[in-house]
Structure 1
Amino acid sequence: MEAQEQYLKEDASQIAQKTIYTILFTISFTHLINDLIQSVIPSLYPLIKQNFNLSYAQIGLITLTYQLTASILQPFVGNYTDKKPKPFSLALGMSCTTIGLISLAFSTSFPQLLFSVSFIGLGSSIFHPESSRVAHMASGGKKGLAQSIFQLGGNAGSAIGPLLAAIIVIPYGQTNILWFTILGLMGFFILTKVGKWYGEHLYLKKQTTKPIHDGSLKLSKGRITSALVILLILIFSKYFYMASLTSYLTFFLIEKFHVSVQQSQMYLFLFLAAIALGTIIGGPLGDRFGRKYIIWISILGAAPFTLLLPHVSLFWTAVLSVFIGVIIASAFSAILVYATDLLPGKVGMIAGLFFGFAFGMGGIGSALLGWLADKTDIFFVFKVCSFLPLLGIITGFLPNIEPKK
C-alpha cells in the first residue's frame, strides 16, 4: 500500500512538471471566444452613440457598468474557488456572457444597454479566475509561458472582435450581434469538456503552488503587501491608458483625420492585434530573463511612444499604436505570475484580483475620460493619458524574488 501511494505521488509530480499544451491552447481558445464577445461592446460605440443619441459620458458609463461587474466579483470568486474549486463554473460563465449578448442585440433603451453589458461582465467575472487556475495547473512549471498562451487567446479575441463587428454589425445593424452567439455556444460546450478535465486533475493544484524562490528568501507580510500595491499601481497605469485607446481611439481618428467608422475599426484592430503579439512575447521573456525586468521595460518603455502619439500624422499614429500595444501588453503575464509567486496557493484570488482590478481600472478610466472629453475634447484626453506609463519607474521598488538567470 505504501509503495502504491509513493508511486501515485511520483506520478502526480511527473504530470505536474509536464506542460499540457492541449489544455493550454484549449483554454486559450475559449478565452479568445470570451473576450471576442466582450470586445463587441466598445466596437459598437460609434453605432450606439448615433442610434441612441448618447454623450461621451454615457458611452463611458456603459464601459464602467460592464467593467465593474466584470471586476468586483472576480477576487471573491477566485478566493472561494481557491478553497472549493468549481469546474462547472467555466461553462456557467460562458452562459452568462452569451445571455448578455442576446440581450444586447435586442436592446432598445439606454438602461437595457446597461443591463446587457452587466450580464456580459458577470460572465467574465466567473470565467477568468477558474480558467487562470486551469492554465496554472497545466503549466508544468512554465508559468509565464502558460499565462501568455492563456492571455494570447483573450487578446486575440479582443483584436478580432472589432474587425468582425465592422464587417457583420456596423453595416447591417444592431440585431446582427446575434451571429456572435454561435461562438458563445461553442465556448460553452468546449468549457464543459475542460471542466471535466479540471475536475479529474484537481490533485495538480497542490503540485503547482510551490514558490519559485528558495527558503533563504523570507518576505514579511508588509513587504508582500507593498509589492502587491506596487503591482496594482502598475496595472492602473497600464489599463487606464489602454482605456483611452480601446474606448476612444476610433473617435480620435474620426475627429482628427476624418476617417470612416469602418476605417477607424481597422486601426483599432491593429492596436489590439499588437496587444496579442506583446502578450505572447512577455511571458516567455519573463521566464527567461526575470519578470521584474520585463515589467519595468514594458510599462516605462512604452512612455516615449505614448508621449508622441497625440502629435503625429495618421500613418505614424498607426505605427506608434502598434509599438505601444506590443510593449505595454508584455507586462500583464509577468505581473500576474510575479504576484502568484508572492502568494503561492492563491492563484484564484490573485487572478481574480488582478483581472478584476484591470477591468475595473479600464471601466473607471473610460467613464472619467468620457466625462473629460465632454468637458474639453478628445485630443486633450489623449495628451493627458500619454504621461501614465511614466509610473512604470516604481517597478524598481519591487523585491527580487527570482533566482538570477
Structure 2
Amino acid sequence: MSQAISLKALPKQGNTSYRILFIIGLCHLLNDAIQAIIPAMFPILERSMGLSFTQLGMIAFALNIVSSVLQPVIGNMTDKKPMPFALPIGLTITLFGIIGLAFAPKYEWIIISVIFIGLGSAIFHPEGSRVAYMAAGPRRGLAQSIYQVGGNSGQSLAPLITALVLVPFGQKGALWFTIAAFLAVCFLAYIAIWYAKNLRLQAANKKAKKKVAAHKPLTKSVKIALAIVLILIFARSWYVSGMTNFYAFYAIENYEFSISGAQTMLFVFLLAGAIGTFFGGPLADKFGRKTVIFLSLALSCPFSILIPFVPASIAFVFLALTGFILMLSFSVTVVYAQELVPGKIGMMSGLTVGFAFGMGAIGSIALGYLSDWVGINQTMMFTGLLPLIGFLTLSLPSDQKIAEWNE
C-alpha cells in the first residue's frame, strides 16, 4: 500500500491518482465559486450601500491583487518547505471572509472581508496545484486540467449565483457559501493527510532530483521563455476580464437584451471556457504543450475579432467557440511554466495563476477607463484583438528543447 502511495506522489512515475485529482478539483470549484460571489454581489451592494462604480472596482481590485501578489510568494515558500495543512487553513481564512462579507455594515468592512478571501485563495492555489502535480503520475496535462477546470467552473457560476442566491437573499445570502467553505476545509484536511504521507515517502526514498533542480540558476533562454509565457497570460487575462466585466453592457446596448439575457451570453462564454480548460490538458499530453498554447490563442482570433460585428445569434455561437478554444491553454501554460523551471512547482503555479488574477484586476480598471473614454463598442473591438498576441508562442522553445535543458 505504501509503495502505491509513493508512486502516485511522484511525477512521471506510477499511476495517476484520480481520486485525489477529483477531490482537489472539487475544492478548486468551491474556492472559486466563493470568489465569484463578490462580483456577483455588486448590484446588491450598489443598491444597499450606495456604492459608486469606482468603489466596486476597488473591491474587485483588492480581492485579485492580494491573491495575485501573494500566490508566487507563498508558492516559493512552500517549494522550500511544503506545508500540507496550509490548504485547510487557507479555506478557513476564506470562511471568515465570507462571514465578514455577509455582515459587513459599510464599505471599509467589505474591503477587509474580501482581503481575507483573497488571502485564503492565495494560500490555496499554489498548494492545490502542487497536489495536482504530485497526483498526476505520467499525465501532468490531464491532472492540471482536472484541477483548473474546477476553478473555471466555479467562476462560471457567478451569473447563476446572482439570480438564485443573491437576488432573493441579498447580502446575507453570502452566508450560504459558508457551507461550501466548510465542505472544502473537510476535503482539504483529507488531502493534507495524503500530501503529508507522500512527502514522508519521498524523503524516505531520497527522491531529491527536484530539490537539486530548484537550486540551478535560470539561464537567459529560460528567462526569455518565461517572460513570453507571462505576456501570453496577460493577453488571455485581459480578454477574459474585458468580456466578463463589460460584454454584458455591450449586449444590452447593441442587442437590446435584458440584464438576464446578457448574463446568459456571459454564462455560455464562461461555461465553454471551463469545458475548454478540461480538454486542454489531455490534448497537450498528446500533441505537446507549445502546440496547444499556440493553437488555442491563434484559432480563437477570428471569432474574438468578429464578435462585435455579428448579430446576436451568431455572437452567441462565437462566444462559446472563443471561450472553449481560448481556455484550452489555461492549464497548459501552468504545466509549461512548471517544466521550464523544474523544482519550483508552487512558485510557477503561483506566478502563472497569480499573474492571471493580477492582470485581470488591472484589466478591469484599464478597460473600464477605456470604455468611459472611447465607448463600449470600441472597447469590445480592442478587446477582440488581444488574442493576436498569441502568435508570440511561435518564439517559445519546443517541449523537446525544454526536456533537453532539464537533463
- 1:122 maps to which residue? 119
- 2:155 maps to which residue? 158
Moved more, 365-374 or 238-247: 365-374
In the TM superposition, what is the alpha-carbon distance from 1:306 to its structure 2 partner? 1.0
Deviations 1:222-262 (A, max 9, x none): 00000000000000000011001122233333333333333
As a proportion of its length, which structure holds more helix?
2
Residue 193 (structure 1) aligned to one of 187, 190, 214: 190
User: Residues 108 and 265 of structure 1: is their aligned pair in 2 closer, same or farther, counting only changes over 3 Å?
Assistant: farther
Instruction: Provide the C-alpha distance between the structure 1 equivalents of 2:106 and 2:148, rounded to a whole number of angstroms.
Output: 34
CA contact (8 A) 1:224 1:342 kept: yes
Instruction: Provide the C-alpha distance between the structure 2 equivalents of 1:369 and 1:311, rounded to a whole number of angstroms.
Output: 19
In the TM superposition, what is the alpha-carbon distance from 1:124 to its structure 2 partner? 0.7
In the TM superposition, what is the alpha-carbon distance from 1:278 to its structure 2 partner? 0.4
CA contact (8 A) 1:59 1:367 kept: no
In the TM superposition, what is the alpha-carbon distance from 1:102 to its structure 2 partner? 1.9
Query: Is 1:359 aligned to residue 364 of structure 2?
Result: no
SS across alignment from 2:348: helix
Instruction: Provide the C-alpha distance between the structure 2 equivalents of 1:97 and 1:108, rounded to a whole number of angstroms.
Output: 19
User: Residues 220 and 26 of structure 1: is their aligned pair in 2 closer, same or farther, counting only changes over 3 Å?
Assistant: closer
Q: Which runs of 5+ in 1 are unaligned?
A: 1-7, 212-217
- 1:31 maps to which residue? 28
CA contact (8 A) 1:19 1:141 kept: yes
CA contact (8 A) 1:40 1:162 kept: no
Instruction: Provide the C-alpha distance between the structure 2 equivalents of 1:239 and 1:334, rounded to a whole number of angstroms.
Output: 14
Instruction: Provide the C-alpha distance between the structure 2 equivalents of 1:309 and 1:239, rounded to a whole number of angstroms.
Output: 18
Deviations 1:48-100 (A, max 9, x none): 34444444443332221111011101111000101111111101111122222
CA contact (8 A) 1:152 1:277 kept: yes
- 1:146 maps to which residue? 143
User: Residues 15 and 181 of structure 1: is their aligned pair in 2 closer, same or farther, counting only changes over 3 Å?
Assistant: closer
Moved more, 22-31 or 219-228: 219-228
Query: Is 1:20 aligned to residue 48 of structure 2?
Result: no
Q: What is the root-mean-square deviation of aligned Cα atoms in Å?
A: 2.5
Q: Which runs of 5+ in 2 are unaligned?
A: 403-407
- 1:95 maps to which residue? 92
In the TM superposition, what is the alpha-carbon distance from 1:312 to its structure 2 partner? 2.2
Report the residue type matching 1:298 in the other structure: S
Query: Is 1:250 aligned to residue 241 of structure 2?
Result: no
- 1:4 maps to which residue? none
CA contact (8 A) 2:34 2:177 kept: yes
User: Residues 379 and 311 of structure 1: is their aligned pair in 2 closer, same or farther, counting only changes over 3 Å?
Assistant: same
- 1:73 maps to which residue? 70
- 1:5 maps to which residue? none
- 2:405 maps to which residue? none
In the TM superposition, what is the alpha-carbon distance from 1:403 to its structure 2 partner? 7.6
User: Residues 176 and 224 of structure 1: is their aligned pair in 2 closer, same or farther, counting only changes over 3 Å?
Assistant: same
In the TM superposition, what is the alpha-carbon distance from 1:209 to its structure 2 partner? 6.5
Moved more, 384-393 or 42-51: 42-51
Residue 227 (structure 1) aligned to one of 225, 228, 233: 225
Instruction: Provide the C-alpha distance between the structure 1 equivalents of 2:37 and 2:315, rounded to a whole number of angstroms.
Output: 23
Residue 181 (structure 1) aligned to one of 160, 178, 182: 178
Instruction: Provide the C-alpha distance between the structure 1 equivalents of 2:179 and 2:314, rounded to a whole number of angstroms.
Output: 37
Question: Kindly, what percent of the aligned residue pairs are identical?
Answer: 43
Instruction: Provide the C-alpha distance between the structure 1 equivalents of 2:256 and 2:112, rounded to a whole number of angstroms.
Output: 33
Moved more, 306-315 or 137-146: 306-315
In the TM superposition, what is the alpha-carbon distance from 1:288 to its structure 2 partner? 0.2
Report the residue type matching 1:235 in the other structure: I
In the TM superposition, what is the alpha-carbon distance from 1:299 to its structure 2 partner? 1.3
CA contact (8 A) 2:79 2:346 kept: yes
User: Residues 169 and 149 of structure 1: is their aligned pair in 2 closer, same or farther, counting only changes over 3 Å?
Assistant: same
SS across alignment from 1:330: helix
SS across alignment from 2:399: coil
Give the alignment's TM-score, normalised by structure 1.
Answer: 0.90
SS across alignment from 1:399: coil
Report the residue type matching 1:285 in the other structure: L
- 1:215 maps to which residue? none
Query: Is 1:327 aligned to residue 318 of structure 2?
Result: no
